[in-house]
Chains A and B, each alone.
Chain A
Amino acid sequence: MNRVFFLGPQRFRPTLVATLDRIGVEGTVAAITAGWQEREQEVGELQDHIHRELINLRLYERAEEVFAEDAELRDAVHERQQWLREEQSLYRRRLAHTLNAAREVMTLDGRDRFVREHRQAAIRAVRTLDRQHLTRVRRIHAEFEERMKPSRRPAVAAQREQLQEVIGAASAVAIAGGHVAVLLNRLRLFGFAQLLADRVVVAWSAGAMALTGRVILFHDRPPQGAGDAEVLDAGLGLVDGIIALPHARRRLDLDDPVRVALMARRFSPDLPALLDVGSEFVYDGSWRPGESARKLSRRGGVVEFKHS
């Protein structure tokens, strides 16, 4: 069984080393920083922080090497990404209307049966749309896997063999944040759902998002648009039952009970976990609170997450 730790952002108050110390990780830590893209190699601060040997798995660079070697796969990945973008764009158009309706009904006064039923129906409509989108996204991935069988292609298989060896020798895998789609695509390309099985994994920000069953993009106050949280993709699914919300205090309007309640109910029964600075959530078959573990409540506030 996996032991997985989700942490808050690490830039200003890193807590990774405290987690590694506490859980008894003494050996090498394999690091994934592919979300940093062209800065992937700049792991100096991370290395200094953890006081342990660190091996950078270089997934961003490895993927570039694979694409340079296997043009057919590269083109197929580009085509898949194009399909995914188109699907996301169509979903987003419908989502805007469905979410607006849900927000409007949720702001209505009244606890009578009619208002309650309409509220539930409006949220159900959003959940249905999310589910349909995720089904289509999964289908795009499944068709790609079926057609290209990336794990059997020599360029991928060779990299994957090396990665398996390094990860097998490491005491833990640390996955940093960054660009969540870039990170997730690399993890998927190299089969990390299997490579991380039964490993100790510590992840933060986009790293945490990529390991869940659903990757949710969110920002309540963007400079453009309504700030409609959206399902991007199925994550690796290494852990389930959680929605990872990094930088929640900065990205969410936690003082708006309608937005908070809608977010919590929309993704229920998953735990809407606030991954702010200093927070920690622990998974060992089920989710347990670590330091400063808080979540969104269905009533529209922020509450401490307690193990049930």
Chain B
Amino acid sequence: MSSVLDRFLDQTPGGETIDAFLSGRTFPILEGDRVTFVFRGRADAVNLRHWIFGLPSSQPFERVDGTDLWRLTLDLPECSRVEYKIEHIEGENRQWLMDPLNDRVAHDPFGANSVCYGRGYKTPPWVLPDEEARPGAMEQFRVISKVYRDRREIGVYLPARYRKRRRYPLLVVHDGHDYLRFADLRRVLDNLIHRLEIPPMIVALTTSPDRLTEYGADPRQADFLADELIPAMNARYPLIDRPEARMLMGASFGAVAALSAAWLRQGVYGGLLLQSGSFAFSDIGKHGRGPALDPVARFVNAFREDPGHPCDKVFVSCGIYESLIYENRSLVPVLQGAQMELRYVEARDGHNWENWRDRLREALSWLSPGPLWMVYE
């Protein structure tokens, strides 16, 4: 079956008709489970640069004869979400561009990417602004850390209708400020609490000045959390001071930090949310992921050998378009063997913040169910 673009090109279009074709149309062009990327402009070559593990990371566009139009069609399974850039090559110049024809953009600490949605993908409604949801408040305080020998700024989310007379569960978030900026964490918390899908909770947001070291299974992070951050939070806020009301989460290296902290300090946390963890390991020889992950691999190998019981409930998610899917799938039987209640979820997405955002409802409402069934206001 010919695509919209093929049918258009059959008419041997000129410049003005190409303009007309491009205006008022959504790009990339999604037709069933196939997606066509389009670029217009003078170039020697155009490539799609994406982060779908399993496909060549650079996919060449094809120039449409006699035009300055470039095209590339790929299969894209239902509900996929893919972040990408367009590599434009002209002479000696080689540039990675946002797709000029696509307004959908996702941000991360390194900048931004264009985003392509597969058939059936929709931004979850609980991510969007809800005028009925009461907003929580943000505070900031400082922990003087003997463990790290410096001061750590901690962001704190307080739920709407926060009352000092009440006791709240605690969620500690690695890379918390990035979760706020790139995964809409504050709005997600407001909405899920408003919908009664999670209980009102207090959230501590941590950030590391050297995350590749500190989040890489560094025992200091376990000590910092258990001996400094949590006592400081208990001193300032009315928290339920029990493991089952204390959760720890993170993505990528943040997930490694969360699991290793719970493993090193067993009995401190009740629940873990591990998103796309960089759980490098080796059964024999090298793990193959570079020296930065050596300490991580040592930890994961030790964990696989003797997982103990880091907590009661663990939610693991990973995108099937990330290379880490292998490591995360490999972790599942180990966690199951550790007598933990486990929920493992995969998504057709990559190693990015919106993937992690989109899993928050399922993860948090499973780890800490809200009073949805009992409260009718």
CB distance from A34 to the nearest CB of B (A): 13
Q: Is there a chain A Cβ closer than 8 Å to B303's Cβ?
A: no
Q: Is there a chain A Cβ closer than 8 Å to B373's Cβ?
A: yes
Given A11-B377, A224-B366: A179 and B371 within 8 A (CB)?
Answer: yes
Q: Which of B11-19, B108-116, B140-148, B160-168 contacts A (4 or more CB under 8 A)?
A: B160-168
Q: Is there a chain B Cβ closer than 8 Å to A129's Cβ?
A: no
B197 lies within 8 A of A222 (CB): yes
Mark each residue of chain A from 200 to 220: 1 if its CB lies under 8 Å from any CB of chain B, else 0.
000001100100000001010
A179 lies within 8 A of B163 (CB): no
Contacts of B376 in A (CB 8 A): 177-178, 180, 205-206, 209, 246-247
Contacts of A113 in B (CB 8 A): none
Contacts of A246 in B (CB 8 A): 376
Q: Is there a chain A Cβ closer than 8 Å to B235's Cβ?
A: no
Mark each residue of chain B from 346 to 377: 1 if its CB lies under 8 Å from any CB of chain A, else 0.
00000000000000011001100101111111
Distance in angstroms between the alpha carbons of A132 and B119 in the assembled complex: 46
Distance in angstroms between the alpha carbons of A223 and B192 in the assembled complex: 10
A178 lies within 8 A of B372 (CB): no
Q: Is there a chain A Cβ closer than 8 Å to B92's Cβ?
A: no
A179 lies within 8 A of B161 (CB): no
A224 lies within 8 A of B377 (CB): no
Distance in angstroms between the alpha carbons of A180 and B377 in the assembled complex: 9
Distance in angstroms between the alpha carbons of A73 and B366 in the assembled complex: 34
Distance in angstroms between the alpha carbons of A179 and B366 in the assembled complex: 20
A38 lies within 8 A of B166 (CB): yes
Mark each residue of chain A from 150 to 181: 1 if its CB lies under 8 Å from any CB of chain B, else 0.
00000000000000000000000000011111
Distance in angstroms between the alpha carbons of A12 and B161 in the assembled complex: 16
B362 lies within 8 A of A223 (CB): yes
Chain A, residue nearest B163 (CB):
A38
Q: Is there a chain B Cβ closer than 8 Å to A111's Cβ?
A: no
A180 lies within 8 A of B197 (CB): no
CB distance from B373 to the nearest CB of A (A): 5
A178 lies within 8 A of B375 (CB): yes
A38 lies within 8 A of B369 (CB): no
Distance in angstroms between the alpha carbons of A222 and B375 in the assembled complex: 13
Q: Which of B132, B165, B372 has the most CB of A within 10 A?
A: B372
Of the residues A12, A35, A39, A222, contact of B372 by C-beta under 8 Å: A222
Q: Is there a chain B Cβ closer than 8 Å to A9's Cβ?
A: yes
Contacts of B165 in A (CB 8 A): 38
Contacts of B373 in A (CB 8 A): 217, 219, 222
Distance in angstroms between the alpha carbons of A217 and B373 in the assembled complex: 6
CB distance from B293 to the nearest CB of A (A): 34
CB distance from B19 to the nearest CB of A (A): 41
Distance in angstroms between the alpha carbons of A219 and B369 in the assembled complex: 14
Distance in angstroms between the alpha carbons of A35 and B369 in the assembled complex: 19
- Within B161-183, the residues touching A (CB, 8 Å) are 161, 163, 165-166
Of the residues B197, B371, B377, contact of A9 by C-beta under 8 Å: B377
Distance in angstroms between the alpha carbons of A222 and B373 in the assembled complex: 9
B361 lies within 8 A of A180 (CB): no
Distance in angstroms between the alpha carbons of A178 and B362 in the assembled complex: 24
B375 lies within 8 A of A179 (CB): yes
A224 lies within 8 A of B374 (CB): no
CB distance from B72 to the nearest CB of A (A): 37
Distance in angstroms between the alpha carbons of A39 and B361 in the assembled complex: 26
Given A12-B132, A178-B377, A205-B377: A219 and B163 within 8 A (CB)?
Answer: no
Distance in angstroms between the alpha carbons of A209 and B365 in the assembled complex: 25
Give the secondary structure class of B's interface.
loop
> How big is chain B's contact interface, by range?
10 to 19
Contacts of B375 in A (CB 8 A): 35, 177-180, 206
CB distance from B247 to the nearest CB of A (A): 16
Distance in angstroms between the alpha carbons of A238 and B165 in the assembled complex: 33
Distance in angstroms between the alpha carbons of A223 and B373 in the assembled complex: 11
CB distance from A194 to the nearest CB of B (A): 24
Mark each residue of chain A from 85 to 101: 1 if its CB lies under 8 Å from any CB of chain B, else 0.
00000000000000000
Contacts of B374 in A (CB 8 A): 179-182, 217
Contacts of A247 in B (CB 8 A): 376
Contacts of A209 in B (CB 8 A): 376
Of the residues A38, A179, A217, A223, contact of B365 by C-beta under 8 Å: A223
Contacts of A9 in B (CB 8 A): 377
Contacts of A11 in B (CB 8 A): 377
Contacts of B132 in A (CB 8 A): 12
B377 lies within 8 A of A223 (CB): no
CB distance from B168 to the nearest CB of A (A): 11
Of the residues B163, B166, B361, B371, contact of A223 by C-beta under 8 Å: B361
Chain B, residue nearest A210 (CB):
B376
B372 lies within 8 A of A177 (CB): no
Contacts of A219 in B (CB 8 A): 372-373
Given A222-B197, A222-B372, A223-B362: A39 and B377 within 8 A (CB)?
Answer: no
- Within A262-297, the residues touching B (CB, 8 Å) are none
Distance in angstroms between the alpha carbons of A224 and B372 in the assembled complex: 10
Mark each residue of chain A from 35 to 61: 1 if its CB lies under 8 Å from any CB of chain B, else 0.
100110000000000000000000000
Distance in angstroms between the alpha carbons of A217 and B372 in the assembled complex: 9
Known contacts A35-B375, A177-B376, A180-B374; 19 additional CB pairs below 8 A are A12-B132, A38-B166, A178-B375, A178-B376, A179-B371, A179-B374, A179-B375, A180-B375, A180-B376, A206-B376, A206-B377, A217-B373, A217-B374, A219-B372, A222-B197, A222-B372, A222-B373, A223-B366, A247-B376
The 12 listed contacts between A and B (C-beta, < 8 Å) are A38-B165, A39-B163, A180-B375, A182-B374, A205-B376, A219-B372, A222-B372, A223-B361, A223-B362, A223-B365, A223-B366, A224-B362
Which 5 A-B residue pairs are closest in the complex by CB-CB distance? A223-B365, A206-B376, A205-B376, A246-B376, A177-B377
